[in-house]
Amino acid sequence: MKLIIAAIKPFKLEEVREALTAIGVRGMMVTEIKGFGSQSGHTEIYRGAEYAVNFVPKVKLEIVVSDGLADQVVETIQTTAKTDKIGDGKIFVLDVASAVRVRTGETNEDAL
Amino acid sequence: MKLIIAAIKPFKLEEVREALTAIGVRGMMVTEIKGFGSQSGHTEIYRGAEYAVNFVPKVKLEIVVSDGLADQVVETIQTTAKTDKIGDGKIFVLDVASAVRVRTGETNEDAL
Amino acid sequence: MKLIIAAIKPFKLEEVREALTAIGVRGMMVTEIKGFGSQSGHTEIYRGAEYAVNFVPKVKLEIVVSDGLADQVVETIQTTAKTDKIGDGKIFVLDVASAVRVRTGETNEDAL
Amino acid sequence: MANMKKTLGLAALTTALMALPAFAADAPKLDAGDTAWMMTSSALVLFMTLPGLALFYGGMVRTKNMLSVLMQCSLITGLVMVLWTLYGYSMAFGETSGALAPYWGGLGKAFLHGVSMNSVSGTIPEYVFFVFQMTFAVITPALIIGAFVERVKLSGLMLFVGLWVTFVYFPIAHMVWGGDGLFFAKGAMDFAGGTVVHINAGIAGFVGCLVIGKRIGYGKENMAPHSVTMTMIGASILWVGWFGFNAGSALAANGTAGLAMINTFIATGAALLSWSATEALVRGKASMLGAASGMVAGLVAITPACGFVGPIGGLILGLLVSPICFFFVTTVKSKFGYDDSLDVFGVHCVGGIVGALFTGIFAAASLGGVGYAEGQTMGGQFMVQVEAVVTTLIWSGVGSFILYKIADAVFGMRVDADSEREGLDITSHGEVAYHY
Amino acid sequence: MANMKKTLGLAALTTALMALPAFAADAPKLDAGDTAWMMTSSALVLFMTLPGLALFYGGMVRTKNMLSVLMQCSLITGLVMVLWTLYGYSMAFGETSGALAPYWGGLGKAFLHGVSMNSVSGTIPEYVFFVFQMTFAVITPALIIGAFVERVKLSGLMLFVGLWVTFVYFPIAHMVWGGDGLFFAKGAMDFAGGTVVHINAGIAGFVGCLVIGKRIGYGKENMAPHSVTMTMIGASILWVGWFGFNAGSALAANGTAGLAMINTFIATGAALLSWSATEALVRGKASMLGAASGMVAGLVAITPACGFVGPIGGLILGLLVSPICFFFVTTVKSKFGYDDSLDVFGVHCVGGIVGALFTGIFAAASLGGVGYAEGQTMGGQFMVQVEAVVTTLIWSGVGSFILYKIADAVFGMRVDADSEREGLDITSHGEVAYHY
Amino acid sequence: MANMKKTLGLAALTTALMALPAFAADAPKLDAGDTAWMMTSSALVLFMTLPGLALFYGGMVRTKNMLSVLMQCSLITGLVMVLWTLYGYSMAFGETSGALAPYWGGLGKAFLHGVSMNSVSGTIPEYVFFVFQMTFAVITPALIIGAFVERVKLSGLMLFVGLWVTFVYFPIAHMVWGGDGLFFAKGAMDFAGGTVVHINAGIAGFVGCLVIGKRIGYGKENMAPHSVTMTMIGASILWVGWFGFNAGSALAANGTAGLAMINTFIATGAALLSWSATEALVRGKASMLGAASGMVAGLVAITPACGFVGPIGGLILGLLVSPICFFFVTTVKSKFGYDDSLDVFGVHCVGGIVGALFTGIFAAASLGGVGYAEGQTMGGQFMVQVEAVVTTLIWSGVGSFILYKIADAVFGMRVDADSEREGLDITSHGEVAYHY
Ligand SMILES: Nc1ncnc2c1ncn2[C@@H]1O[C@H](COP(=O)(O)OP(=O)(O)O)[C@@H](O)[C@H]1O
Ligand SMILES: Nc1ncnc2c1ncn2[C@@H]1O[C@H](COP(=O)(O)OP(=O)(O)O)[C@@H](O)[C@H]1O
Ligand SMILES: Nc1ncnc2c1ncn2[C@@H]1O[C@H](COP(=O)(O)OP(=O)(O)O)[C@@H](O)[C@H]1O
């Protein structure tokens, strides 16, 4: 199994989720994060004080899938989340040693 | 060492934390996430507009433990977080290459 | 490539980000988390009810870098985030199988 | 509140009051100054409920139930206004004759029959008197909900409130404030409604939380307030609005209103301080939630007293009430283990009782108060106050119990466990409070 | 609002009004009670805009645009106050002669020329009359923005508002409220500004959202309110402030003010209930956002009616308006697909029209109202009301359209797509609302 | 505020004022209209502090310190109310004789001795005069805290405030407003307390932030406001409440109150605009925090002037004050590097000085003001104003310095570094503001 971690633009979340559901992904974990990358942040000024905010709001997806599905998931995210503008995000793939479903105790691919 | 990632129901957090402490887990990272899975979300209506919210609030635990403790941690989470209802969550296990304690610079199992 | 996960004290974030930028890190994901560890939490009392909050606010960094840079990143985080007080945090390193840049489809080290 | 007849009755016995110009006039005639103040007061008392009380309560619940609290306060406001217009005002302030006259005002003024733009009550338009009293009828049942938020079922609650104002509030208001009301004859001193509003709502809430039961996870899970900021805003608005409640109960802009106002300032400031001091002593830290609780405790305690006691009496009453309420919301509640979620009993009922009883004492002219009716002694007045308190506790306690059971049988008073877990906002109202 | 002349005009025809002492006085003389009420009312109407309306609207937008809404309301407040002082008051309430007299008041009172601390308007200082009217001029353009928040460009908006108050609001205010105003002669009944404020702003907003276009992602992305709590606070403040708006429009603390006040209570409570009931029937759940919308719908509808209809008429009007507005903000809006983001048209314009038309009916003495001018019938009055509504819709609709086009040509009325995506708070104001 | 004697004093010299009916009466007699307005005003000024100022300040701090700010405002409110009752009112408004009479009012009215429900002050109950003045005594020390929030120690602060009101505020209030007060004789014009409240608090805050030192991480870490929304709500409430502060300072509902009110509207609207315009010019973007700051700057500047200058004078004063304060909170503060966290100096002290000086100019009858005392010239009045400002700066500056040192020696004025890092909410109050 693979853990696919993707940082994408927040407004793309719904679209990506739908596309992934369509190819058979049945679960994921979504976190609101602050992204740092080549996309620049913004400046906030409060009375005298100026703050350069180097972070940009992003959404992080974490999805565990069987090895067979992994490539398709990566590709789907990449094509769906793409807007051709800087800051579209990254996708990382890691190996997962094992998985368990809490409710039933099923393991590995059965757990997904 | 292993990284154990678990998505569980928020109100189970305290119980799971206590159970893990009891078996010798000494640290973890906890994140509030939006979970997507077989448990269905809810519908919100604001004046005319209807929004299907497909995400359910979950809590994600990330725990690094020695290889020896990993199985016990997984089992403890599984039994404690279980409510036998859909959406109880998942547990994933990944390999960790190395660990460092910031304060002391201790590494690997000493760092946990 | 390596995924470096670090839990640090929130007020160290800006300093660490700058130090990492200086050694060539070009991206990261930042999440606000609740940390559990040897640093103790606090007690809140609301009228009659007392709550022991065992979690401490931390910031989690997730950074993917080439294998070559990984050690330097870990060291930079460790030295910069250090305050010599309990709760300074941990750094974990995991292997990454592959990486993709959403905007361009570039892969692996090119994607970083 | 001191309605015209009542105030006149006391005035006959109190030289102080006789000196006021407002009472010199024989035929009641509209006074623009009094009308201005009473319109302001009416607006202020609505402000107490929406958004004051709603935020005070709402801030203390968990995020997932925020809107349910705001919504319950809003719907109660709408419902009671409509019922008040249809028959409530008539039941409370109408005039009827016969055996039931001490218990209700009849239906002669239902649908505002016979009341017009030119009707005058005292020195203000009767329409203004009507709305001022209406705001009291609105806030009283809204106070009750604090005892069982986060689990109560909306349909059951609305039925209960409709029944409760009809069978408990309107009659008690008549008995206490109606010129021919039962309690009125006994000479109980309750300037602005400590009995009718706070003890009444407090005991109804207490019975409610026993009938409905504890929240799931009570005592185990973290049920910390989701926004102490909102609670503080709510408490502050309550304070500001309470000037309408208390000084407005003089029904005029005169010296009595001034007395009610100074007491509402000083007692509240003192109670805020003494709650914080108690916390600092007992726990080493004074909390904002405590200070807000102290404000409300002080406001509740001074309500019956504000037009009768002197400012130093008010100051002492404020200092006293907070430690007593503190003891109830911490020690007593945890000892008996009932889940009066937002301490309606511990603050409103207990604070109301403290206020009612001390009114009987501090009203003494020797203690700076306006003095008793001719022939009345401090001991005698105290016993009258005790009697009024006990009667209200029993009437409202028993009445509420029966009405909860009826509402429970018809619609149910509690949501199912899954809905409670998920939160009432989504399950009862289909929305969530915040999307940050 | 019923300015002195207008009220006197109607009073001549209505015995009820003649009985009021305020109108017995020949030479106008300052009355402290009336002045107290009108100062309070002025403060209350400012409270409606800041923070009332700002929060009511702000709560409904996404976090990233919160400050832009608060800021637009604030800047409009400042701008209109300055323009009102420079020439607005004179245009609306000055006196001029000649052919243009029915359309504007001239510039005789520009820069408050000739108005001093001793100038009296009716029984209150003219300065107080000035500020009371100013608060109306402030809130009206602020209402408009709800139709196109989250995408409007600040510079374009400010230019539009400056032009709009000058060419639409000030003239209409004169025509309706000025003693020699065009519409005044026709006898349209509009107690507190249903036409001038709500229909006027409602149709301007509607035209605005058509001119400016939909938000990016409208209908696809989640645009749920970022804080229904803030919206509820805003609606509550609007209600409280509206007593100044409506009862203040009597320009005195008298029986008419009392009538306006009781209606503002009852109609709003009823509308709150009926919106919630409608939702419960149609969707199975009543929402807090719905209850808040119902409050505002009720307030809008009772605005023209509050000094003319009886309380039972107000109650029925309140019950009626909510389902109608509900139908517009759900069915009609989704059917035609315009993005009137915060339902300025569906609530203010539609609610205002419902109020204006029913005022013509419920004002009948036989239905508990104050009755019509001598010789006028219900049917006749109804047609007058229709005419006033239609004229306002056309004048404001066409005028607004032209002014949007001008502002769009000069500065642009819409931000670019990237700014809209990122949110106006950062891109237009350089700050974010929350750092929790 | 213009107390009776002072106003009468000026009135004797100003024909404009003599025309007002309120001053025609010989024997003071309670007036219901004036009483209504003053009770409303008292409620409004409390509203300014709780929750107005608390939210204005609280929104600007980081989440971890939110409750500490709300709590400091609340506790100061309670403490000062109690001290005011015990001896403050007597010190400020009592009457004594002998050499010290210009400096304090003695203890003759301590514990409200000799004041009853029938005591009248001007045309209002003395109890109402008492509470109105009390709300001023409450807000002044609460203003100070803005200079050193996020690091101040609660016990030290409370001791400081108790000392400060006793040795700085009560005496200054007597000197300025007491009929036999020191400054009164000099003829300084300060209608509603620009000197006593704003300059006084502003300089005390400035000294405080120097004594206590900068926040850890100041200038390096992000200290952005945690909720600009709360700050905007607070500023709006301040504006609304300020009508009580300024127009209430006429102590009656008359033409002077009307003048104070119109100025409080117009100057504030103008200052809001000119702050935003300044930001737009200097930075390209106007922020909500800026607009809120502009509101407060305008309110502060118009405070001494509101009853003396004409509306156009008020307008110009509003336009002028914002750029000056802007310069102080941006350029000056960053140049000198002191950590006046919420700009108490830059807004309240500087704004107060601008207001005090321009009052001396715009009060000229030729500039639309009420004119000077007989024989006084613009230059002469200006020098009187300068003298009043300088005296206050020195008295309060030096006095505050000494009192900070005492409080620091007794309890400490600053928390330890770890507590500051973790936040005062948890470490000083044992609670956190939000659990979303
Ligand atoms: N090396 C990295 N490790 C982890 N996350 C990264 C890394 N680089 C970028 N990211 C994430 O991807 C987001 C987009 O990256 P960015 O460099 O801004 O744009 P692009 O991918 O278009 O070049 C960042 O905001 C960050 O969240
Ligand atoms: N494939 C997956 N990858 C990552 N997280 C998952 C995956 N499947 C489920 N989850 C997480 O586990 C939670 C529970 O899963 P769900 O399918 O709803 O219930 P159950 O595990 O009882 O079948 C989800 O809300 C999500 O956070
Ligand atoms: N075993 C672990 N797995 C994951 N995260 C951990 C682990 N131990 C500690 N952490 C994280 O590191 C933070 C600091 O750890 P703590 O034990 O408090 O201090 P220290 O590292 O100084 O001994 C914790 O708050 C937690 O977020």
Q: pLDDT for E402-436, tens place per residue?
A: 999 999 999 999 999 999 999 999 999 999 999 99
C28 in A contact zone (CB under 8 Å): yes
Pick among A44, A47, A50, A53 to test the F interface (most F CBs inside 10 A): A47
Any atom of ligand 3 within 6 Å of the Cβ of C64 = no
Span E32-71, pLDDT tens digits = 999 999 999 999 999 999 999 999 999 999 999 999 999 9
Q: What is the pLDDT at residue E94?
A: 93
Average pLDDT over residues D40-45: 98
Angle between helices F154-164 and F126-144 (to 10 degrees): 130
Given this model, what pLDDT does residue F288 score?
Answer: 98
Instruction: Look at residue F96 in the predicted model and tell me its pLDDT.
Output: 87
Chain C residues in contact with F431 (beta carbon < 8 A): 44-46
- pLDDT band with cut points at 50, 70 and 90 for residue E15: very low
Does the C-beta of A7 come closer than 6 Å to ligand 1? yes
Separation of alpha carbons F123 and F31, rounded Å: 5
CB-defined contacts A:B, below 8 A = 82
Judged by CB atoms closer than 8 Å, whether chains meet at B26 and C8 is answered as no
Instruction: Give residue E184's pLDDT.
Output: 66
Nearest one of D246, E197, E71 to F292, comparing CA atoms: E71
Class of residue A67 by CB neighbours under 10 A (exposed 0-12, middle 13-18, buried 19+)? exposed
B46 vs D: CB within 8 A: yes
Q: Nearest ligand, CA of residue A9? A: 1
Helix (H, G, I), strand (E, B) or coil at D180: coil
- Whether residue E188 lies within 8 A of chain D, CB to CB, comes out as no
DSSP F191: S
Mean local confidence (pLDDT), D287-295:
98
Q: Indicate whether residue B58 lines ligand 2 (CB < 6 A).
A: yes
Q: What is the DSSP letter of E65?
A: G
pLDDT digits (tens, 9 = 90+) for D95-141: 888 888 888 999 999 999 999 999 999 999 999 999 999 999 999 99
Per-residue pLDDT of chain F (436 residues; tens, 9 = 90+): 434 333 333 333 333 333 333 344 455 699 999 999 999 999 999 999 999 999 999 999 999 999 999 999 999 999 999 999 999 999 999 988 888 888 899 999 999 999 999 999 999 999 999 999 999 999 999 999 999 999 999 999 999 999 999 999 999 999 888 777 777 667 889 999 999 999 999 999 999 999 999 999 999 889 999 999 999 999 999 999 999 999 999 999 999 999 999 999 999 999 999 999 999 999 999 999 999 999 999 999 999 999 999 999 999 999 999 999 999 999 999 999 999 999 999 999 999 999 999 999 999 999 999 999 999 999 999 999 999 999 999 999 999 999 999 999 999 999 999 999 999 999 999 999 999 9
| A31-70: pLDDT as tens digits | 999 999 999 889 999 998 889 999 999 999 999 999 999 9
pLDDT of amino acid F295:
98
Asked if the model's pLDDT at residue E2 lies above 50, the reply is: no
Q: What is the pLDDT of residue F180?
A: 73
Of the CA atoms within 13 Å of residue D265, those in its CB half-sphere come to 32
* Tokens coding F215: 């926040």
CA distances (Å), D107 to each of D63, D92, D100, D175, E309, in order?
43, 9, 12, 15, 22
Q: Is the dihedral of CA E280, E281, E282, E283 positive or negative?
A: positive
Do E263 and E246 meet the contact criterion of CB atoms below 8 Å apart? yes
Burial of E352 (0-12, 13-18, 19+ CB in 10 A): buried
* Chain F environment of E432 (Cβ under 8 Å): 224, 228
Distances (CA, A) of E101 to D308, E113, E384, F238: 58, 19, 22, 40
E394, two tokens: 């056309």
Chain B residues closer than 8 Å to C55 by CB: 30
Q: Which sign, positive or negative, has the C-alpha torsion F376, F378, F381, F387?
A: negative
Give the chain A residue nearest F328 (alpha carbons).
A48
CB of B28 closer than 6 angstroms to any ligand 3 atom = yes
> In whole numbers, what is the pLDDT of chain B averaged over residues?
95
pLDDT for residue D207:
98
Q: Which helix (H) or strand (E) holds F33?
A: helix F32-47
